[in-house]
Amino acid sequence: MRVLSDRLLTDPTAEIEKILITALIGAVFAYFHQLWKYSRDAYEARIDEACDLIFNLAETAAEYWISPKLNPRHELGPIRHSASVSRQLVPPSLELLQVRIEGGVKKLEFLRLMLQPRLSLHDRQLLVDRMASFLDSMTGGQFASKARAADESRAREVYVTASDLVAHLRTASQRANGWWLTLFRQFEIVRPYRPPHSHRESIADTLILSITVPALLIGLLLVLVSLIF
Amino acid sequence: MSTINIASDFSRTPGGRYISDGPFSGELFRERLLVPALRGALSSKGKVVVVLDGTRGYLSSFLEESFGGLVREHGFTKHQLDRILELRAIDSYYETYRNIALRSIADARAERSLAH
């Protein structure tokens, strides 16, 4: 403090400039750090929402596939006298489960659209692939048929594909939450960026970024050094 | 080149697998629109573009019956379908469905080759 006060006495303007620049740099870093934290937390909340939905859907789908669906016109004809038996053979909940699965799939698709812009091209393609497997295990086979047998293997498969999808979402979200990506998105707001749709575009972007970003950082560093010293 | 837009040419709410399952099934779509267009494309050496956009979504069973059924029921080969059939998902929302449809063709081919 004594050294600082001595310097302030000898050359007050230069020293105040240095203090202000240092404070400004600190403030800018703190701002971007907060921005990154908010952005990461908001994204993680969406990922949690998607994962909960996936496991809820898996539960619903497993319940749907584990029960046989009998056509009431053919199977229940002779035993309509017994209300308890007819309820047992055609559980009304099966129709409800079917509607819930269809609705849940749509919700999940919208969540995917919200989540995928942050992901790399490779992670996006993998996400679509894992989603396709999950949807196929839930709504494939004899889904929505008037009558079908119970399908235990499909009920098991639903959990496997759900776990694969959740695992991919979790790992991809870790990769999507880097601080440099948050910084990049801030620039993107000012100058809209075209996300790569092919490997060629992805390679071109990597080349451009690997040249321009170090050049900008070195330039910024030189400016700061020249201002401070 | 002919284009089939499922939403405008067939239904905005495609149904299940078989005609017996209800309206706008995969089987109905395949028999009424897809197979005649593909047969025409084969004879004229053209191409059929199927646009998936615009519907309220698809059940995997619909897609499997529509596209997997081409190989299973009508004897189209994967090689032929690669040449004459193009599946288009303009909106990113339909990418998953396109993936399922392409997978159905590949899996149906596997079933067919195992059967022979």
Could you tell me if residue A214 is inside a domain? no
To which residue do tokens 């956009």 refer?
B53
By residue range, what is the domain housing residue A158?
2-195
Could you tell me if residue A200 is inside a domain? no
DSSP assignment of B13-63 equals S---SSGGG-SS-HHHHIIIIIHHHHHHHHHHT--EEEE-TTSS---HHHH
Could you tell me if residue A229 is inside a domain? no
To which residue do tokens 């952005």 refer?
A39
Could you tell me if residue A223 is inside a domain? no
Residue A145 and residue B16: Cβ atoms within 8 Å?
yes
**Cβ partners under 8 Å of residue B7, min gap 6:** B51, B53, B54, B55
Q: What is the pLDDT of residue A82?
A: 45
A88 has a pLDDT exceeding 70: no
Helix (H) or strand (E) holding B5: strand B2-5
**Contact status of B65 with chain A (Cβ, < 8 Å):** no
Better pLDDT: B100 or A177: B100
Give the closest-approach CA distance of A127 to chain B in angstroms. Answer: 9
User: Token pair of A194, please?
Assistant: 């075209």
How far CA A154 is from CA of A62, A134, A139, A149, B105, in Å, comes to 8, 11, 10, 11, 20
Q: In chain A, which residue's Cα lies nearest the Cα of B101?
A: A132
Could you tell me if residue A228 is inside a domain? no
Could you tell me if residue A206 is inside a domain? no
In this prediction, does ipTM exceed 0.90?
Answer: no
Contact A82, A21 (CB under 8 A): no
By residue range, what is the domain housing residue B97?
2-115
A98-145: pLDDT as tens digits: 999 999 999 999 999 999 888 888 888 999 999 999 999 999 999 988
Q: What is the pLDDT of residue A81?
A: 44
Q: Domain total for chain A?
A: 1
Q: Domain total for chain B?
A: 1
Contact A127, A172 (CB under 8 A): yes
pLDDT band, residue A172 (cuts 50/70/90):
very high
Burial of A189 (0-12, 13-18, 19+ CB in 10 A): exposed
Could you tell me if residue A102 is inside a domain? yes
Residue A132 and residue B21: Cβ atoms within 8 Å?
no
Could you tell me if residue A202 is inside a domain? no
Residue B21 and residue A109: Cβ atoms within 8 Å?
no
Q: Which chain A residues have a beta carbon less than 8 Å from that of B99?
A: 128-129, 131-132
Nearest to A146 among B20, B57, B60 (CB): B20
DSSP 8-state class, residue B88: E
**What pTM did the predictor assign?**
0.77
Indicate if the alpha-carbon torsion angle A93, A95, A101, A104 is positive or negative.
Answer: negative
B68-116: pLDDT as tens digits: 999 999 989 988 999 999 999 999 899 999 999 999 999 886 555 555 4
